[in-house]
Chain A
Amino acid sequence: MTVDILSSIKGAQPSEAVNKLFEVIKNANTTNNNTFNNNHDHAVSLDYLRDDVVINSPQIEKQIIIENFPKEKNGFLVVSKVIEE
């Protein structure tokens, strides 16, 4: 899949400046063969997981979400349909 499709940006092309950054990474020496070593310590302990509860949003929050909605038809908010392909 090309980057314009992946990015949903029409006519998108890889950038020369960004490719130069990628070249540096490709040519860099890595001594550590274990990608996920002990620096990735942001996993949350089971003890600290949030409770799985439904929190009702305040009315003002719901109102602003509706205001932000780009498309309305006959009093309904129009959401996207599933792309079937």
Chain B
Amino acid sequence: MDSQIRKIHHQLVNKEITCTDLVQERLDALKQNTNNTVNSLLDTSALDLAAKVDAKIANGDSIGLLEGIPFGIKDVYMVQGTYTTASSDLLKNYKSAYTATAIQKLLDAGAIPLIKENCDSFGHGSSSENTIFGAVKNAVNSNLVAGGSSGGSAVNVAKDYTVFSVGGDTGGSVRQPAGYNNVYGLKPTYGRISRFGLMAYASSTDCVGPIAKSIEDIRIVLNVMSGKDGKDQTTYASAEIPQDGILTSEDIKTVGYFKNFIETDAIDSQIKSDFLAAIEKIKAKGIQVKALDFFESETLVSTYYTLAMAETASNLSRLDGTNYGNRIEGDNLKDTYAVTRSENFSEETKRRIVGGNQLLSQGFSDEIYLKGLKLRDQISENFENDFKEVDIIISPVTPNTPPKIGESLKDPLAMYLSDAYTVGFSLGQLPTLTVPKGTATGLQISAAKNNDELVLKFANFLKDTI
């Protein structure tokens, strides 16, 4: 699909549509939608902003490319004055006091936020069922899960309720729902986009990620949100990716894939055969394809969840109902903390907090947490060596197609294992894009750190190849 942002921009500039009608139409669609994508609508502010864009156009002023473009925000981003619930009981009445850097950059470019989007509570989940707003339903088949944790964001884009949405990806939370709903979803290199104002899940892999229907829209939004930010000292300065810079892919000579992802009984047979067929098409274009060795899926999933649980236990320890949150009074202060947290966190969130505190406690930290860190180093080293051999690594997004709603929460271990193909790239902090091509849940394209441009180049190549 072509760029929706450019198409709407031209329609606005040529006065084929008004921004107010555009925003009203999308708000109406969101209000009526039965996929449970909405946590809160920002209708008043969106219509006010749309009227300003219309006034500018009527006045003959020029507008920027993102000016007047309606977008969605996963409900884990601070936007001043809006409810930011993380889909949790604890924060269901919490209002952001400030705005996240990534979102502020989009607001400064004139994009119009319509909605805070449903997601797994605090990013804890792979199905967008762990939420107080009702399970998000898949855009293609409403009996299936939307994926997660940015499920509402992916469905809104797939259904054209938003032109693009901003999700958050810690272990696959943008890429997996993008794959489940047939849209593009990018996890940029860690640090390319500021995390300031993104509610922290696991800080060492948390990434801000755009979801859209075209590679060009991903590029536009990525460029606007990227950059060094004094409020997140893990950010780095990156060059803008030019539009014509990603149209040719002559510099991509070698592509690798992890053979153990494919040579396993855990993968759906159709996804496997479709993936291998995609590899053949890439080979037919004269690109060399190498089968690479990698860590077992169980090791990847366990390493990721071990570190993510340790980090989320620390990050969520501040949520005790003292300075904000749905405080429930107990017999004394300690009891107040415990009752507030016990009653307001979901079962999945509690499972992760408890797991994190368990592995960080004395007697466990050496044999689990520190060993997890060592494994992560080895995984990163493995990637570094791989990218000396290949330019791009391609893989399926998920081993299986989306499960039915209600199945994932019954079996947490199965849910964790369904992240087998996404978590490794998170641990490596690599730029990784889901493209809705190749298999039923898409393909993942990864490149070496800071090489987001190459990922988009290869996505364009695949668009014409598969």
Contacts and interface: CB of A to CB of B under 8 A. Distances in A.
Interface of A: 1, 3-4, 6-15, 17-18, 20-22, 24-26, 28, 30-37, 39-40, 42, 44, 48-50, 57, 60-61, 64-65, 67-71, 79-81, 83
A18 B358 contact: yes
Contacts of A64: 80-81, 95-97
A65 B97 contact: yes
A9 B416 CA distance: 22
A28 B375 CA distance: 8
Interface string B303-347: 101100100010001001111111100000110011101100100
Given A20-B413, A64-B96, A69 B337 contact: no
A39 B380 contact: yes
A37 B170 CA distance: 22
Given A26-B371, A28-B299, A61-B97, A21 B306 contact: yes
Contacts of B354: 3-4, 7, 9, 12-15, 18
A14 B358 CA distance: 7
Q: A interface, by DSSP: helix, strand, loop or mixed?
A: loop
Given A7-B313, A22-B306, A81 B368 contact: no
Given A25-B368, A61-B80, A32 B377 contact: yes
Contacts of A81: 333
Contacts of B80: 60-61, 64
Contacts, number: 161
A15 B376 CA distance: 23
Nearest to B95: A64
A14 B233 contact: no
Contacts of B416: 17, 21
Contacts of B204: 42
A57 B353 CA distance: 32
A32 to B, nearest CB: 5
Contact of A24 (B299, B359, B380): B299
8 contacts: A3-B361, A6-B358, A7-B341, A8-B341, A15-B412, A21-B302, A28-B302, A30-B375
B46 interface: no
B370 interface: yes
Interface string B367-385: 1101111111110110000
Count class of interface residues, chain B: 35 or more
Contacts of A37: 377, 381
Contact of B378 (A32, A48, A49, A65): A32
B191 to A, nearest CB: 8
A36 B305 CA distance: 19
B375 A25 contact: yes
B293 interface: no
Contacts of B97: 57, 60-61, 64-65, 68
Contacts of A14: 354-355, 358
B96 A9 contact: no
A27 to B, nearest CB: 9
Contacts of B326: 70
Contacts of A12: 342, 350, 353-354
B367 A26 contact: yes
B412 A80 contact: no
A3 B309 contact: no
A1 B358 CA distance: 10
A22 B323 contact: no
B357 interface: yes
Contacts of B322: 70, 79-80
A71 to B, nearest CB: 7
A67 B93 CA distance: 10
Contacts of B350: 7, 9, 12
